[in-house]
Amino acid sequence: MTPPRVSVIVPTWNEAATLPGLLAQLRRQSGVTLEILVADGGSTDGTRELARQAGVRVVDSGQRGRGAQMNAGARVAAGDDLLFLHADSGLPDPGLLRRACAHLDHIRAHSGDRWAGHFRLRFVDPPFDPPWILRYFARKTVLNRPEGIHGDQGLLLSRSFFAALGGFDTGLPFLEDQRLSRQVARLGRWTTLPGTLETSARRFRHEGVIRRMLLNAMILTSLHADFPEFLQHAPRLYRTQDAAQPLRLRPFLRLVRDLDQTTAPLEAWKRWYRIGRFLRRSVLGQLFFLLDLLATPLRPNERFPLVALHDRVIQPLLDFTPVDALLALLSRFATTLATLKVANHENR
């Protein structure tokens, strides 16, 4: 048998409704030899049986959580490259993985092995209100910024580079993709792969676009601003995909308030300062990206001159303490105000 070029690892937890479609599309991929591994965390809806009926190997991770499941799949993978895909991903183009591998091969031939790739995204079932936010998220996936690279974009890298990264962090039941993304940026580089990967907007539909967007912002800010206390407590408030329903932000905002009240004032201020610094580096860059999209919505070559201006000129000019301190004060005030407003709204 021909050794697989790519081992496709799909973490699952009750994905009987979505997995068959992905497996069918993977079977139609041409020009590349694939090994397909379903890394299951203990599904109870027939996911495992469906995978086996499709002739796919099922790996029992022994632990629920995408990071642990994908690590388990990687340990038994035989391919030179690993591709981590979510079960609700879509690959309508049968040549997508062939071109992705060729692109990565070309880069590695000139710049070494420490490269990882991710795809552009397209949401196939966006909620009606407001659809422009998801279009913005989809366009943002062309940028190779670690905070903007997530598992639903598909993560392709060599097995040796994945081992050098230490695999996925399993300290939390979520954020495994963001932690790996930061590791790649530290030890290697990201590239946007040719073609587009489809994904479902089901969590946005079930939980609400604005509320899910705000919670994602809180979680990512806590990660990148080194706020581990929030992340350690948040998993008990975070629902798995199969249990998603209209999201309530109040518990998360109350968690921030409670952690503030139980932290020494100086330490609390240091935390808010780190949050302000992250917001200055991340949010301002996203505003420039939005301006780029508004200025040239149909730019075919996906060059973003205003983002480049921000990175090269604006960010260095603002890289000093008073700006970060001001943003820290504003973000703390905004969080306090949001806690009160959300509490009033959800109590009605």
Where helices occur in 209-248 by DSSP H, the ranges are: 209-224, 228-233
| Average pLDDT value for residue range 102-111 | 96
Instruction: Indicate whether 1 belongs to any domain.
Output: no
Percent of the chain with pLDDT over 70: 91
Residue scoring higher pLDDT (160 or 200): 160
Q: What is the distance between the alpha carbons of residues 266 and 269, in angstroms, rounded to a whole number?
A: 5
Q: Under a CB-based contact definition with an 8 Å cutoff, are residues 153 and 54 in contact?
A: no
**Per-residue pLDDT, 240:** 59
**Is residue 129 very low, low, confident or very high in pLDDT (cuts 50, 70, 90)?**
low
Give residues with Cβ within 8 angstroms of 164, minimum separation 6: 114, 187
Residues 150 and 193 in one domain: yes
Residues 13 and 133 in one domain: yes
Residue scoring higher pLDDT (192 or 125): 192
Residue scoring higher pLDDT (129 or 276): 276
Residues 321 and 266 in one domain: yes
User: 1 pLDDT exceeds 70?
Assistant: no
**Is residue 84 very low, low, confident or very high in pLDDT (cuts 50, 70, 90)?**
very high
Residues 193 and 214 in one domain: no
Element (H, E) at 106: helix 96-111
Full-model pTM: 0.86
CATH number, position 127: 3.90.550.10
Instruction: Indicate whether 290 belongs to any domain.
Output: yes
**Per-residue pLDDT, 340:** 77
Residues 243 and 271 in one domain: yes
Residues 99 and 230 in one domain: no
Residues 173 and 233 in one domain: no
Residues 82 and 154 in one domain: yes
**Per-residue pLDDT, 210:** 79
| Average pLDDT value for residue range 203-229 | 84
Task: Look at 48-57, 272-281, 289-298 and tell me which has the smallest mean pLDDT.
Answer: 289-298
Instruction: Indicate whether 22 belongs to any domain.
Output: yes
**Is residue 315 very low, low, confident or very high in pLDDT (cuts 50, 70, 90)?**
confident
**Per-residue pLDDT, 131:** 64
State which of 200, 225, 255 marks the end of a domain. 200
Residues 224 and 257 in one domain: yes
**Per-residue pLDDT, 217:** 86
Residues 189 and 333 in one domain: no
**Is residue 347 very low, low, confident or very high in pLDDT (cuts 50, 70, 90)?**
low
Residues 142 and 169 in one domain: yes
**Is residue 187 very low, low, confident or very high in pLDDT (cuts 50, 70, 90)?**
very high
Split into its structural domains, the chain has a count of 2
Domain containing residue 218: 206-346
Instruction: Indicate whether 192 belongs to any domain.
Output: yes
Residues 313 and 167 in one domain: no
Residue scoring higher pLDDT (241 or 327): 327
Question: What are the CA-CA distances from residue 206 to residues 95, 209, 291, 340 (Å)?
Answer: 32, 9, 30, 24
Q: Which phi and psi (to 5°) does residue 345 adopt?
A: -70, -45
The sign of the CA dihedral 112, 163, 88, 251 is negative
Instruction: Indicate whether 246 belongs to any domain.
Output: yes
Q: Under a CB-based contact definition with an 8 Å cutoff, are residues 280 and 324 in contact?
A: yes
Rounded mean pLDDT of the chain? 87
Tell me the per-residue pLDDT of 223-277, one tens digit each, with 9 for 90 and over.
888 888 898 887 666 665 555 567 788 888 888 989 988 999 999 999 999 999 9
User: 126 pLDDT exceeds 90?
Assistant: no
User: 138 pLDDT exceeds 70?
Assistant: yes
State which of 166, 200, 234 marks the end of a domain. 200
Tell me the per-residue pLDDT of 141-185, one tens digit each, with 9 for 90 and over.
888 888 889 999 999 999 999 999 999 999 887 889 999 999 999
Instruction: Indicate whether 55 belongs to any domain.
Output: yes
